[in-house]
Each structure stands twice: as C-alpha cells, then as structure tokens.
Amino acid sequence: MKTRFQLRFDLFELGILLTLLVTGWVVVTSYNTVTKFEAGRAKFNESKQLADTLEQANSLAGARLNDVFAMKDLSDLKNECFTTSEHICRTLSELETSLQSFVSNKNAEHLKQLQTRGQELRQWLQKETNRIDVAKQRDLGNWLSQQPTASTNSIASVAFDISDLLIGIYKRYVQFLTNADFVGRNTGLPLSRDRVQKRLRQAEDDAAQTQDLAKQLRSKGQAIELFLNTQTGQITTGNRARVEVSEAVGLGQKRWLDRLEAQFQRVLLATCVTVLALCVLLTVTVYRRMESPEHAKKERQQILTHFGAFASQLAHEIRNPLTAINARLHALQKSLTPGSAEYKDATLIRSEISRLDQIVRDFLLLARPAEPRLASITSELVLQEVKELLLPQCQKRGIDLRLESVVPIQFRADAQQLKQVLINLIQNAADSIEQKGAIFLRARTGEVWIKNNLKEAVMIEVEDTGAGIPAEFKEKIFDPFFSTKTNGTGLGLPISARIIDKHNGFLEFESKAGEGTIFRIVLPAVS
C-alpha cells in the first residue's frame, strides 16, 4: 500500500515537472513573439514618423536642407517631451499610492514595490538627463529664433529650457526618494511618529512639485506641436506622392503587425491555460503534502487511545508478579555470600527486573500520560535548568552543550513535563554524537499551523552535530518500541510527542544523514 502510494506520488510530481517544462517553452515563445512585435512596431512608427516629417518639411516652399533636418529634430523633441512627462506622472502616482498604503497598513510588500519602482524611475531619469545634447538644442534654438513667425521667440526659449527642466525634475525627484526612504525605515519605530509625519508631508510636496515640472515639460511639447502645425502649409503634388508612398509602406507594416498580434494572442491563451493547469496541480500537491503528516498523526493518536485501557490492565498484571519476584529475590540474596557467583547472579536478575519495571512504567505513561499542569512560563528558565543538569554529563563525553538565543514570549506548559521532554531529546542527541560534538539549545517565535489554525507559536529547538537520522528510519522514530540503540526501549520519543500533544502543540524534526538533527517543540504562545 505504501509503495503504491509513493509511486503514485512520484508520477504526480513528474506530471508537474512536465507541465513546468511546457510552461517554460510557452514563456520563451511568448518572449520571442513580443520581441518581434516590438521590432515591427518600431519599424511602423519609424515609417509613420518619416511620413509626418516629410509632410511637414516639404510643405515649406523653397525650404533648405538644414530646415528639413531642423523640423525633424523639433518633432523628435516634441515626442520626447510627451513621453517623458507621461512616464513621470504615471510612475509618481504609483509611488505615492504605494507610500500611502505602506504608512496605513505597514505592508512590507508595498515598501518593497516603492523602493524597486522608485530606483527604476531614478535610473531612467538619470539616463534621460545624461542623454541631453546641449549643443544640438542650442543650434535648434538659434534656428527657431531666425524663423519669421511671431511665436518663434517663445519656441526658441523652449528648446533651451528643456534641458534645465529635466535636471530640475531629477533633483526634485531625488528629494522625494530621500524622504520616502526615511518614512519607510522609521515607520512604526518608537518616538519617531512626528518625524515620520513631517517627512511624509515633505515627500508629498516633492511629488507634487515633480509632477508640476513634468506638466511644464508637456506644455513645452504642446508649444512645439503648435509651432509645427502652424508651419505646415499646402503640400505640393510631388510631396503628397512621397507621403502617400510612405503611408503605403506604413500600412503594409501595420497589416504584418496585425497578423503577428493574432499569433501572439493564441500563444498567450495557451500560456494562460497552462498556468491555470499548473496552479491546480500545485494546489493538489501542497494539499497532499500537508494532509499526509496530519493523517499519520491522527492514526498514531487513535492507536494510542485504543490500547490505553489495555495497557493499564497489562501493566497491572505484569508489575504484580515482578514485585513479588523482586521481594523474594531480595530475601534470597541476603542469605547468599557477597561476592559469590550466586550473589552476582541475583544482583543481575534484580537489575533486569528493575529495567523491566521501568519499561512497564514508560509503556503506561505512553498510553495514559498524566494531565499537564499548565502555567504561563518562558523558555529561558526551562532551558537554563536543563542545561545545568546535563552539562557535566555532556562534558565527560566531550560534547559542548550551548544555550543560544531565547525569546521572552510566554506560553502555557507544565515545566516538569517539558523538562522531561528536553532531557530525552538532549540525551538522544548526545547518543547520536557519541564523542566530540555540540548540542545547541534555542527558542524563537513565528506563525505556525497548529491543528488547522495559524497561530503565533514558541519553537524550542535541540540541534546536534551527530550522524543524523537515516532516510529509512524517519517514518518510524515516533513508533512505540522502535529504537536503533542496543539497550533502548523505543518509548522516549513517542512519550515526548504524546506529552507535547497534551500541551496542544506538536514535536517535529529535520535531519540529514551525516550532518545532524534538529528536534523542534512547537507550542502556542500566550496571546
């Protein structure tokens, strides 16, 4: 049954792997399609831009060649003004929204989005500012000042002002990022509320001023566009023919792009279906991985519950004869000569009787553990007492027993029973090390699923540098009477798990053969 389940689970994971491979192929294909689409769109825009430039430049009767180039440069400058202004305003709105959301909800995802998008816009602005050709804009401004049009004086100043305006936008935006970063790093810290609010207002003012400067940049683009429209006259028949040729080329490019877009939509649909299927498979996988351990725990608890009454009666029937045998043997041993072979045999028999009696006690404790006397405690005191108790024993074996970080969070537990569990875990860790190793004790907090509820929990860990647990033993270590030790009873870990279960928590472990093991006691924290 177990082998068939494992085989079925492996085939299921293989199906997920194949789905991931198909998704990877779809993503690569989509990327290539997008690349072709963008290249084709650029060609189309270039053709359309050429047609617009020819229409504007050729409308000037008797225009010189340098006039044509100047009109082309002016059209490029107009487009840059519109594109830059739109990108700055849109991204700034997103950043302001992310900043407000972080301040309101303390959501780290909003802060991360603010930092990432903020740095992207800063780098883009820096690149745009460095790309400014001051000499070219100066020549363009000189050419505009020579045009016999009433509005050219203001247009000439536009060409000179754009570089200064971009530099001003960049400086103001850097101030916004500085204030936003301060708000992100100090929100929620004690004694920082007033400073955070002040910096938040400064960031809002910086964002507003940056957007105002971006709008001024758009206004300058509109002024250039108005100038270009004013300069456009009647296009001659020869010029119109050339424009129509350019438009025909652009129309052919557009049809090609339409076909490419249809192909991309089919690829995109296949991607969506594949991703949906992958999500379903991953959901089922996660559910089965979570359900399997929970099912095993329920079965183990049911088994322990069923034979609880039987174990109590069996322990009673075994312990009564053992007590009688031990009493008679004690009386018989008094009549023997100390040091004789008979006396040594009697001593050995009494030792084995005591060991058998302890096994019966442990078996009874596993079946019917005592109810814990719960009280609010912290992990530091318990771990410190256990360390002081077992430190001499560990030092004799050359094992370093260390108490690392602890947390002051309270949780409800029976201190004596918790010590019993920790002593058992530390002794097991020492046995796995044998000699010359280390055992680390620590406690931390975190959100953990406990009995189908996500709760704040205290996690007490016992980590060793021993041989680790072999893979074939990992599913058996909590089974009663399973032990890899020569004189082990195989009841220590089952009893420990049973005690922690009575505390409304659970006991888990992580292990790698040859690297060591971590046993973790998980208990709900006091809210």
Q: With respect to residue 237, please indicate whether it lies within any of the assigned structural domains.
A: no
* Residue 105: predicted pLDDT: 81
Count the neighbouring beta carbons within 10 Å of the beta carbon of residue 269.
Answer: 10
User: Are residue 41 and residue 113 in the same domain, yes or no?
Assistant: no
Q: With respect to residue 226, please indicate whether it lies within any of the assigned structural domains.
A: yes
Count the neighbouring beta carbons within 10 Å of the beta carbon of residue 183.
Answer: 23
Q: With respect to residue 85, please indicate whether it lies within any of the assigned structural domains.
A: yes
Contact 166, 128 (CB under 8 A): yes
Q: What is the pLDDT of residues 232-273, one digit of tens each?
A: 553 344 445 454 545 555 555 556 666 666 666 666 676 667
User: Are residue 32 and residue 110 in the same domain, yes or no?
Assistant: no
Count of structural domains within the chain: 4
Q: With respect to residue 506, please indicate whether it lies within any of the assigned structural domains.
A: yes
CATH code for the domain in which residue 491 is found = 3.30.565.10
* Residue 235: predicted pLDDT: 37
User: Are residue 450 and residue 475 in the same domain, yes or no?
Assistant: yes
User: Are residue 187 and residue 264 in the same domain, yes or no?
Assistant: no
Contact 501, 510 (CB under 8 A): no
For 249-320, where are the E strands, in sequence order? none
State which of 231, 254, 269 marks the end of a domain: 231
- Residue 383 identity (one-letter amino acid): L
User: Are residue 102 and residue 217 in the same domain, yes or no?
Assistant: yes
Structural domain boundaries enclosing 418? 375-524
* Residue 164: predicted pLDDT: 77
State which of 180, 200, 231 marks the end of a domain: 231
User: Are residue 194 and residue 318 in the same domain, yes or no?
Assistant: no
The overall pTM is greater than 0.85: no
Q: What are the structure tokens assigned to 72, written together?
A: 């082309």
User: Are residue 95 and residue 216 in the same domain, yes or no?
Assistant: yes
Q: With respect to residue 205, please indicate whether it lies within any of the assigned structural domains.
A: yes
Coil, strand or helix at 473 = helix
Q: What is the pLDDT of residues 507-523, one digit of tens each?
A: 999 988 888 899 999 99
Count the neighbouring beta carbons within 10 Å of the beta carbon of residue 376.
Answer: 9
Low-confidence ranges of the chain (pLDDT < 70): 1-17, 19-20, 22-24, 26-70, 133-137, 141, 144-160, 191, 231-268, 270-272, 274-275, 278-279, 281-317, 319, 359, 362-369, 486-488
* Residue 377: predicted pLDDT: 92
User: Are residue 110 and residue 227 in the same domain, yes or no?
Assistant: yes
User: Are residue 463 and residue 348 in the same domain, yes or no?
Assistant: no
User: Are residue 140 and residue 206 in the same domain, yes or no?
Assistant: yes
User: Are residue 90 and residue 220 in the same domain, yes or no?
Assistant: yes
Q: With respect to residue 149, please indicate whether it lies within any of the assigned structural domains.
A: yes
Distances 34 to 30, 258, 354, 501, 505 between C-alpha atoms, Å: 6, 13, 79, 56, 52
- DSSP helix, strand, coil percent of the chain (3-state; round to 5): 70, 10, 15
